[in-house]
Structure 1
Amino acid sequence: MAEEQSVQIPRVKLGSQGLEVSKLGFGCMGLTGIYNDPVPEEVGISIIKHAFSKGITFFDTADVYGANANEVLVGKALKQLPREKIQLATKFGIFKMEAGAGCYLDPWLEVVCNYNDSWASPKLVLKKLHLEVLNISLGGTVRVNYPTFVKCVEGPGSWSKLNIELGSSPFTYSVSKNKFIGIGCNNFASMVGVISNPFFSPDPNEFVMDGCMSICDPSGEVINASSCNGINCCQTTIPSVHINAFITNMSLVNDNI
């Protein structure tokens, strides 16, 4: 009898974080009655275990797949498998699917696939904020492609720009996952953050500020934009955990340069 040949499922890396998963994933939605009648629990567990035995390590589940039933089923299957070898995906912002209703908890969490002439291909965006989604983590953080403030300075003065406001949304700017960076020399770059959510501050408009200064190097090069040291580039932290909006300011350190 010929031996059964095993199929080697290739692996790929997801997003900028480099998470490695099997290129073929297994969606568990159909196990709990979304597309068809739900399968018995022991059958569902055996299906998940069989998929893993064939090289699939990337599974998905969500509460919306059946009032916790799907998550419980997947959890019981994972207890019988080497958990460190499995990657589990869930859904962002999904609460309940009804006929004609959006599949998200709040309109601010709606993501859509958009396309415009400046993009080579369609991109996933947060609909209300018009920001491209780069990554969504299970910890509840959305990484977006945020626009930059660009100003070519030719004389004395200062310039300001109000950035995207999140005040009425469930989002805030993450203090641990963001940096405020100013690229250029002879600049003082600052941000004035606004905490407008009363849950985070008793003052309806509390302001916090931080900034950094850069000096000039004749080469004009930024050696490492990810760790600016104050030469042709500077960086600082976000001044508060709960900022809903901020104003970017830029001014010259020495008007004579």
Structure 2
Amino acid sequence: MINPIGSDTLLPLFVYDVDEHHALTKEAESLPSVIITSPAAGNAVMLGGGYFTPLKGFMNVADAMGAAEKMTLTDGSFFPVPVMNLVDDDAIAAIGDAKRIALRDPNVEGNPVLAVMDIENIEKVGEDQMAVMRDKVYRTDDPEHPGVAAFMGQGRNAISGPIKVLNFSYFQTDFPDTFRTAVEIRNEIKEHGWNTVVAFQTRNPMHRAHEELCHMAMKDVNADGVVIHMLLGKLKPGDIPAPVRDAAIRKMAELYFPPNTVMITGYGFDMLYA
């Protein structure tokens, strides 16, 4: 199997050790906390699942600008989009001079702790910097564009530093049969005994052309199977809800693919529309 970019193995930031998880959960209750934005919560879930290997946490402004402008971080490593924790001035006031904080989930009732973060830097992000990232990532400045609206609607303070993730938000509970970490997907591919795999990412139910594309790709590379990987987070108004999409894709796989040739998985992230 091809190695992840920048590492020999995936580097999930979820705390799997039971004792450490318990200790961090207890510690988090006494730490200054911030209810982060939904895009930042999605970033935390992706970091926790190993999808954003080799990142160890949220980017500082220099790395975020590098990702947007050149798809490289300041150390020269590849990353295609900024992964930031942008908060407003009230959040910064609540943090004070703390160097370790709890990040709370905006998408779950009661705002449980999603992760513990060590603060390396807090930086003001200028409007010109926000504009560069917006234009490079979304290729538009239209305020009605869903990705632009979500990005520009965040605060202008970037909190950077490593995180330790304590849960996967609502994705694991709402989509127990579909949500998978990157580590779990790789493990399942090995369990299937697949050597060559086609992957298809989607935020929509698959129509006939999508199905045919997967069949063609599998045939062209003599693949053992296909991973259909769907986004499970927030979408723009009018897009098909995740439960409907999940059911539609499962029925398609049942009807139009041979048994044991399809893995249906999903990831916890808000759609970028980038």
Give the TM-score normalised by structure 1: 0.25
Give the TM-score normalised by structure 2: 0.24
More strand by share: 1
More helix by share: 2
Which structure has the larger Rg over C-alpha atoms? 1
